[in-house]
Amino acid sequence: MSDLAIQAKDLTRTFGNFTAVDHISFDVKAGEVFGFLGANGAGKTTAIRMLIGLLQPSAGTARVAGFDVSRETEEVKRNIGYMSQRFSLYEDLTPRENIRLYGGIYGLTRAEIRERTSQMLERLGFSSVADTAVRSLPLGWRQKLAFSVALVHRPRIVFLDEPTSGVDPITRRQFWELIYDAASNGTTVLVTTHYMDEAEYCDRISIMVAGRIAAMGTPAALKEEFTVESIDELFVRLARPVEAGKAGTLP
């Protein structure tokens, strides 16, 4: 198989009359950190759900880790890790229990689980809270733990949906360093975020507006192409024509 971790071609998803994802096509190379940007409601979450096998595409195809998302969903799920903003870990379980649960679900042996648990706890500095309910941990810690847990089975690709929302600046950066660390080990990371400044952390990004990909490329190339100082400015430029032109249909 090629060294493309993710391939999407004309991926589409409709809900009744509403088109959430409108024929998007993009590739992500193995080991890349790919930023999937866009406003809330632009279609990012729907797109991710299709890529991880939670939602059937209405049209188009996608291959993740070499498997077709429509027809080989189980293989896709086995080879990826996922962390969403809305839910990451079970709050009334401890970190240790959470790791054991997910390790078991992904078929790790007891020895592997034990080993990775201690590795993870040490790396994050969580040894002292390993047996406290997750609910008592600060938000930033929970997010970092959730990320590690998503990687417990060493998947080749990991999907992160708005992982740093609401988190304090330091923890946010620590989180991105975890992402960098994973990428340096060859893991492909696809992350969605509505923080445009985080776009700069990525190797390549795409910006979704109203279900379509309005721009894609490296942050540097995009800034040059559109002559803007920041990705935030670029986003405003891309989103505004839609808002101004179609008043009455958008909000």
Partner 1 sequence: MSAVQVDSISKRFGPTVALDKVSFAVEKGELFGFIGPDGGGKTTLFRILVSLLVPDSGRATVLGLDAVKDYRALRLRVGYMAGRFSLYPDLSVEENLTFFASVFGTTVEREYEQIRPIYVQLEPFRDRRAGALSGGMKQKLALCCALVHRPDILLLDEPTTGVDAVSRREFWDLLGVLKAGGLTTIVSTPYMDEATRCDRIALVHRGQLLGVDTPAGITGAFGRPLVGVRARERYKALLALRKYEHAQSVYPFGDVMHYTDRRLDAPVERITADVKTFLDASGFADATVEVLTPTVEDSFIARTESAA
Partner 2 sequence: MTALQGLLRKEFFHIRRDRRTAAVLIALPVVQVLLFGYAIRTDVDDVRLAVVDPAPDSATIELRNRFAAGGVFRTVAVVPRTEDLDRLFESGTAQQAIVFYPGFAEDFGSGVPARLLILTDATEPNTGSLLQSYAQSVVDGYARSLRAAPASPALQRPVSIVAQSRLRFNPTRESKNLFVPGLMAFVLTIISSLMTAISLTREKETGTMEALLVSPLRPWEIIVGKVTPYLAIGFISVAAVLVEALLVFHVPLRGSVPLLLLEGALYILVSLSLGILISARTSSQRIAMMFALLGTMLPNILLSGFIFPLESMPAALRALSYVVPGRWFVAIARGIMLKGIGLEYVWRETLFLAAMATVLLVASIRSFNERLE
N-term to C-term CA, the chain: 43
Backbone angles phi, psi at 47, to 5 degrees: -65, -45
Which residue is it, tokens 């390993």? 130
Contact string 130-169 vs partner 1 (x = CB under 8 A): --------xxx------------------------xxxxx
- Out of partner 2, partner 1, none, what residue 241 binds, judged by CB under 5 to 8 A for its kind, is none
Which one of 48-56, 75-83, 93-101, 196-204 is the stretch in contact with partner 1 (CB under 8 A)? 196-204
Report the SS3 class of residue 166.
coil
Contacts of 102 (CB under 8 A, 6+ apart): 149, 150, 152, 153
The CA distance from 52 to 5, in Å, is 12
Among partner 1, partner 2, none, partner that 90 touches (CB below 5 to 8 angstroms by kind): partner 2
3-state helix, strand, coil in the chain (%, to 5): 40, 25, 30
* Piece of 14-22, 75-83, 94-102, 234-242 that binds partner 1 (CB under 8 A): 234-242
Residue 115 interface partner, choices partner 1, partner 2, none, CB cut-off 5-8 Å depending on type? none
Burial of 75 (0-12, 13-18, 19+ CB in 10 A): middle
Closer residue to partner 2 (CB): 107 or 245: 107
Q: Is 217 in the site for partner 1 (CB under 8 A)?
A: no
* Distance of closest approach, residue 60 Cβ to partner 1, in angstroms: 25
Residue reference for tokens 């240790």? 96
Per the DSSP assignment, residues forming a β-bridge with 29 are 4
Comparison of 109 and 184: residue with beta carbon closer to partner 2? 109
Give the shortest CB-153-to-partner 1 separation in angstroms: 23
Binding stretches for partner 2 (CB under 8 A) = 90, 92-93, 97, 100-101, 103-107, 110
